Structure 1
Amino acid sequence: MAGEETRRAVLIAGPTASGKTAHAIARARAGGGLIVNTDSMQVYGVLDRLTARPDPAELAAAEHVLFGHVDPARRYSTGAWLADVQAVIQGSASARQPLIFVGGTGLYFDALTKGFAPIPPVPHAVIQAVEARVSVLDAHGRMALLAELDPDLADRLEVADPQRVVRALSVLEATGRPLSAYLADDQPAPLAGWDLERIVLMPQRAVLRRRIAERFAAMMDAGAVEEVEALLALGLDPGLPAMKAIGVPQIADMLAGRLSRDAAIESAVTATRQYAKRQSTWFRNRMGDWTVLDPFASDV
């Protein structure tokens, strides 16, 4: 419509512990932007420290939305997140207020910029059965199974990570239609036509590995154990996403006496580093035209 201003957004992606929160706050304070969570674990309540959500001082430094607003008993989907984002877009102060999307979930950024296919919900019993089937496979076996059952999706993936394979096979099992067919029905991207600045924060590997270890040790001292105790007290289904957040299984094992504190930390740090590697692979493969920044270039 004539006279309408083009809306602006800054997209800040990056692996875990890459400095996204600090970068987003700096941008918000400089330009008055609204920070929108774009991380699938930071949506859940209870796990404040363990998911590295902004702390009270950081929350006070800039306006934040969609952080910790989901009950951990809920299975929160990309579609649900997009619906919440649409509400933020419609309710934000004005076209002059830029939105700053920050997080580590590549699928959320894809949905924002490329569109998203509405996929029917999958019963948890189906997901559990598929998880059991996939859990015994290595990367080669997962890719072979995916190539057999959804070859179009297999052709699109560089790495058949367990989560994506379970998702694809669960959709096929529950609906009789491959996930790739749903993806072909993408709805328009919420940020289509916006003026977008796209940034990937990508520290050097040694710096990221050190930051991951230091951050998890700090989490343990800042309430992560108490958060897991509170989560376990809810008696939730262990298959829920919040129950699988990195650190929850390891601390739960520590609380049950199956792991020492040091072993729990080591296991969680290893899992976090593996996750950061998968995130980095996604960003390199899917965001090759984004601006890449190393926020810790002077730390090496």
Structure 2
Amino acid sequence: MTGSASRPRAVLIAGPTASGKSALALSLAERAGGVVINADSMQVYADLRVLTARPTVEEEARAPHRLYGHVDGAADYSVAHWLEDARRVLAEAGGEGRLPILIGGTGLYFKALTQGLSPMPAIPPEVRERVRALDLDAPALHARLASVDPETAARLRPSDTQRLMRALEVFEATGRPLARWQAERTEPPVLPAEEAVRIFLATDRTALRTRIATRFHVMMEEGAMEEARALLARNLPADRTVLKAHGMPWFARHLAGGITLDEAIEGAILDTRHYAKRQDTWFRHQLKGWSAMTVEEAAGLLATMA
């Protein structure tokens, strides 16, 4: 880490959903004159403030926030797009003398930021699940890949389901064909890991399960269903990422008359719990060199950075 112990170039806070990242970052931003920068792939979308647990208008008024709700739900948005946006807002923060505080649950964003875009990028669990849920046979998978990455498709056997899925996962996660990744060298990182304080929030799983359920019920009271209804009314293509936000598939089934509201809420909470568990595992295996600590331990560390 460059700079003094009390003022690093940036602070990165990763962790599962509902682990307390936002409150921690906001407190630091207020105290240290920082700017909170989003590193969550769902919170970039303008359509779902409540359902993706974006900061409230009141919270955004307490400190500058960047890369929240700046992308329309109809858009294709990848880690490559986010990395360019992050590069810009980091430069702006530096010019303003503000401490950048990047927070989120999308590990691939943090990995790309601190290590550069790898020719063989790690695939976030939610992307892998989305591709594997396509329920297509091998020829259909091959045809889908050929439409977005014809060079890779030409090199793969139409019956090689696993490799076809892997190539599709790379495209879904990054917005770039696998063939292009394999042809290019890794770019230097936008923010070298050693220049930032890197915190991973380790959580008690039982307590996290409770917080996830509580937060989802609060979301319902704050208008999550109304957001879902408005988004579905846009009739976006079924492959739009925003439609995969936790709760959206269940709300879509409910609004179509397939399940009750209680069943939709129960399913959404269960999905979110499973996702949080996968996030925890991904962070522990992929983000080497990060300090795992509780929210209380992290707050104590960050208190020295005013």
Asked if Structure 1 and Structure 2 have the same fold, meaning a TM-score greater than 0.5 normalized by the shorter chain, the answer is yes
Distance 1:170 1:13 in 2: 22
Q: Which moved more, 1:83-92 or 1:267-276?
A: 83-92
Percent identical: 42
Cα shift at 1:91: 2.3
**Change beyond 3 A, Cα 1:44–1:176:** closer
Distance 2:82 2:211 in 1: 28
Q: TM-score, normalised by structure 2?
A: 0.76
Distance 2:238 2:25 in 1: 33
Which residue number in structure 1 is paired with residue 35 of structure 2? 34
Alignment of 1:120-131 (within 5 A): 131=134
2:103 partner SS: strand
**Change beyond 3 A, Cα 1:240–1:134:** farther
Which residue number in structure 2 is paired with residue 132 of structure 1? 135
CA contact (8 A) 2:246 2:272 kept: yes
**Change beyond 3 A, Cα 1:29–1:229:** same
Which residue number in structure 2 is paired with residue 205 of structure 1? 205
Which residue number in structure 1 is paired with residue 283 of structure 2? 283
CA contact (8 A) 1:9 1:98 kept: yes
Unaligned 5+ runs, structure 2 = 1-6, 121-129, 139-159, 298-306
**Change beyond 3 A, Cα 1:176–1:113:** closer
CA contact (8 A) 2:115 2:193 kept: no
Per-residue CA deviation, residues 102-154 of structure 1 (Å, 9 max, x unaligned), is: 000000000110001589xxxxxxx989933389xxxxxxxx954xx39xxxx
Distance 1:239 1:44 in 2: 15
Q: TM-score, normalised by structure 1?
A: 0.78
Cα shift at 1:94: 2.7
Distance 1:253 1:290 in 2: 39
Matched, 1:58 2:39: no
Distance 1:130 1:211 in 2: 27
For 2:76, the aligned partner's letter is R
2:95 partner SS: coil
1:131 partner SS: coil
For 2:66, the aligned partner's letter is V
How many residues are paired up? 261
Cα shift at 1:90: 2.5
Cα shift at 1:60: 1.3
CA contact (8 A) 2:167 2:178 kept: no
Cα shift at 1:86: 1.6
For 1:131, the aligned partner's letter is L
For 1:280, the aligned partner's letter is D
Matched, 1:168 2:170: yes
Distance 2:262 2:245 in 1: 19
Which residue number in structure 1 is paired with residue 100 of structure 2? 99
1:94 partner SS: helix
Distance 2:106 2:252 in 1: 25
CA contact (8 A) 2:111 2:287 kept: no
Cα shift at 1:235: 1.0
Cα shift at 1:100: 0.4
Which residue number in structure 2 is paired with residue 47 of structure 1? 48
Which residue number in structure 2 is paired with residue 153 of structure 1? none
Distance 2:137 2:217 in 1: 32
**Change beyond 3 A, Cα 1:214–1:118:** same
Distance 2:33 2:249 in 1: 38
**Change beyond 3 A, Cα 1:170–1:86:** closer
Matched, 1:109 2:110: yes
For 2:88, the aligned partner's letter is A
Cα shift at 1:251: 1.0
Which residue number in structure 2 is paired with residue 15 of structure 1? 16
Cα shift at 1:93: 5.3
Runs ≥4 residues deviating over 4 A: 127-130
CA contact (8 A) 1:131 1:166 kept: no
Distance 1:128 1:193 in 2: 30
Distance 1:231 1:55 in 2: 19
**Change beyond 3 A, Cα 1:95–1:13:** same
Which residue number in structure 2 is paired with residue 177 of structure 1? 179
Per-residue CA deviation, residues 43-97 of structure 1 (Å, 9 max, x unaligned), is: 0011001000001121112110000000000010111111111221232253742
Unaligned 5+ runs, structure 1 = 1-5, 120-126, 136-143, 151-161
CA contact (8 A) 1:202 1:294 kept: yes
Distance 2:265 2:77 in 1: 27
2:12 partner SS: strand
